[in-house]
């Protein structure tokens, strides 16, 4: 592979379009990522993944499910202003296998996404050089077939790229340098004045993309830490859901209606009756979580099996929002205009088909309100066949090329 460029790859493995329920279409004012593109990244080449409100990436071990989620999270962090080195600490591992360096010994990778919202579909494509040094060498922001931002590395000796953004004023474009270690799209609000219609269009497209990317919570619940008592703190759920008891202590009193829904979900997916899900203080500054069986018996979560613990944690994630989850919300945008995307690697790990189906239906219900989207990686999505509103992308189909279908 030579130095990465933003030109379309020769072969594309585009999946078919994902159907969107009418109630979700009505909430298109909330920006969301509707497509991921791994043009050349690790084991993926020319791969396009459509994303609906609830999407399951299915495939065998090694099919690249986790890689897709990794790219989504990487783009989200770049959209939040993170430096390239923080996001890709091992960039060489991201270069497609057997990619050959060019005459200057350069190799890299290409990724992109589409953010849909009030401005319509906005495409972002990024080319990253991994060797001999990590840097963004090209970026393109496009809307309605028009390039709104384009950057290119002109002088390898300088840590900048030359950028040109749409102006549509006395000059058609404005040019200037941008750092080569940050996403230019995220920097545009600091560089574009917004005086012309063209500049305002650029700002609106960039802001839509950044809002869609930043509203992400990546989680993979770890059962063992959830069994232990935890100290009271900020009450924000961690990525591994280690502090589940602490968050239950907070949410049970703050949102009674959603807690009732959580109890009903717990009853549907846990063995035995469940009348309540609660946390109790132990007198030493810690709390432990319990299931109230309704007959005077309370079962500590430490006695539950891994599947039940992961089920409870994922249900809590899907029912809460940025105020409870350990995320960096887009503070300058009202919460009513944001849709939080939950990235769940190993979504079905340790779950039976009944539990996975209950969580999928919960995600669909919460997603219908427009506030939650879910992208989960599963080994087998056959249990989702009867769940309306769940989109399945099969990475094993057609020799590893992604194909999408609507379950239900």
Q: How far apart are CA 112 and CA 48, in angstroms?
A: 9
Q: Which of 384, 343, 345, 349 is nearest to 65 (CA)?
A: 345
Q: How far apart are the first and last CA of the chain?
A: 41
Q: What is the pLDDT along the chain (408 residues), one digit of tens a residue?
A: 444 555 443 333 333 334 444 444 434 578 999 999 999 999 999 999 999 999 999 999 999 999 999 999 999 999 999 999 999 999 999 999 888 998 889 999 999 999 999 999 999 999 999 999 999 999 999 999 999 999 999 999 999 999 999 987 778 889 999 999 999 999 998 888 888 899 999 999 999 999 999 889 999 999 999 999 999 988 889 999 999 999 999 888 888 888 999 999 999 999 999 999 999 999 899 999 999 999 999 999 999 999 999 999 999 999 887 667 755 555 444 455 567 899 999 999 999 999 999 999 999 999 887 778 999 999 999 999 889 999 999 999 834 444 444 443
Whether residues 320 and 304 share a domain: the answer is yes
**What burial letters (b/e) apply to 56-77, b meaning 16+ CB within 10 Å?**
bbbbeeebbbbbbbbbbbbbbb
Whether residues 209 and 235 share a domain: the answer is no
Whether residues 342 and 291 share a domain: the answer is no
3-state secondary structure of 31: coil
Q: How far apart are CA 378 and CA 387, in angstroms?
A: 15
Give the number of other Cβ atoms within 10 Å of residue 197's Cβ.
12
- Domain closes at, from 305, 328, 351: 328
Whether residues 142 and 24 share a domain: the answer is yes
Whether residues 282 and 382 share a domain: the answer is no
Whether residues 188 and 100 share a domain: the answer is yes
SS (H, E, C) 93-140: HHCCCCCCCCCCCCEEEEEEEEEECCCCCEEEEEEEEEECCCEEEEEE
Give the number of other Cβ atoms within 10 Å of residue 84's Cβ.
21
Q: How far apart are CA 328 and CA 192, in angstroms?
A: 24
Q: Are 165 and 173 in contact (CB under 8 A)?
A: yes
Whether residues 188 and 48 share a domain: the answer is yes
- Domain closes at, from 273, 297, 328: 328
Distance of CA 314 to the CA centre of its chain: 15
**Residue 323 structural domain:** 223-328
Whether residues 241 and 171 share a domain: the answer is no
Whether residues 324 and 337 share a domain: the answer is no
Whether residues 240 and 95 share a domain: the answer is no
Q: Are 181 and 85 in contact (CB under 8 A)?
A: yes
Number of folded domains that form the chain: 2
DSSP string, 244-271: HHHHHHHHHHH-HHHHHHHHHHHHHHSS
- Domain closes at, from 328, 349, 372: 328
**pTM (2 d.p.):** 0.88
């Amino acid at each position: 592979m030579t130095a990465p460029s933003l030109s379309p790859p020769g072969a594309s493995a585009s999946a078919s379009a994902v159907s969107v329920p009418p109630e979700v279409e009505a909430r298109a004012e909330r920006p969301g990522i509707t497509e991921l593109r791994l043009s050349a990244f690790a084991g993926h080449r020319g791969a396009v993944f459509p994303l609906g409100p609830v999407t399951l990436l299915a495939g065998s071990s090694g099919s690249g499910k986790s890689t897709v989620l990794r790219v989504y999270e990487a783009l989200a962090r770049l959209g939040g202003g993170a430096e390239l080195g923080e996001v890709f600490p091992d960039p060489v591992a991201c270069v497609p296998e057997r990619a050959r360096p060019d005459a200057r010994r350069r190799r890299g990778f290409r990724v992109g996404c589409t953010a849909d919202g009030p401005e319509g579909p906005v495409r972002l494509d990024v080319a990253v050089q991994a060797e001999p040094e990590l840097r963004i060498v090209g970026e393109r922001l496009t809307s309605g077939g028009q390039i709104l931002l384009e950057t290119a590395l002109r002088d390898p000796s300088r840590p900048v790229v030359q950028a040109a953004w749409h102006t549509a004023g006395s000059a058609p474009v404005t040019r200037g340098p941008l750092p080569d270690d940050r996403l230019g799209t995220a920097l545009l609000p600091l560089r574009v004045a917004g005086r012309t219609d063209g500049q305002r269009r650029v700002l609106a497209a960039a802001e839509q993309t950044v809002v869609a990317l930043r509203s992400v919570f990546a989680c993979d619940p770890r059962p063992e830490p959830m069994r232990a008592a935890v100290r009271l703190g900020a009450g924000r759920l961690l990525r591994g859901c280690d502090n589940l008891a602490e968050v239950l202590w907070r949410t049970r009193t703050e949102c009674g209606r959603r807690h009732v829904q959580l109890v009903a979900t717990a009853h549907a997916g846990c063995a035995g009756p469940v009348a309540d899900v609660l946390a109790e203080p132990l007198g030493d500054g810690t709390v432990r979580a319990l299931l109230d069986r309704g007959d005077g018996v309370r079962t500590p979560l430490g006695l539950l099996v891994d599947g039940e613990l992961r089920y409870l944690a994922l249900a809590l994630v899907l029912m809460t929002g940025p105020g409870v989850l350990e995320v960096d919300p887009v503070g300058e945008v009202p919460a009513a205009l944001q849709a939080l995307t939950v990235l769940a690697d190993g979504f079905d790990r340790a779950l039976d088909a009944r539990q996975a189906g209950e969580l999928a239906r919960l995600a669909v219900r919460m997603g219908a309100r427009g506030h939650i989207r879910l992208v989960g990686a599963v080994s087998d999505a056959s249990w989702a066949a009867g769940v309306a509103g769940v989109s399945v992308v099969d990475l094993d189909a057609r020799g590893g090329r992604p194909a999408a279908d609507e379950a239900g």
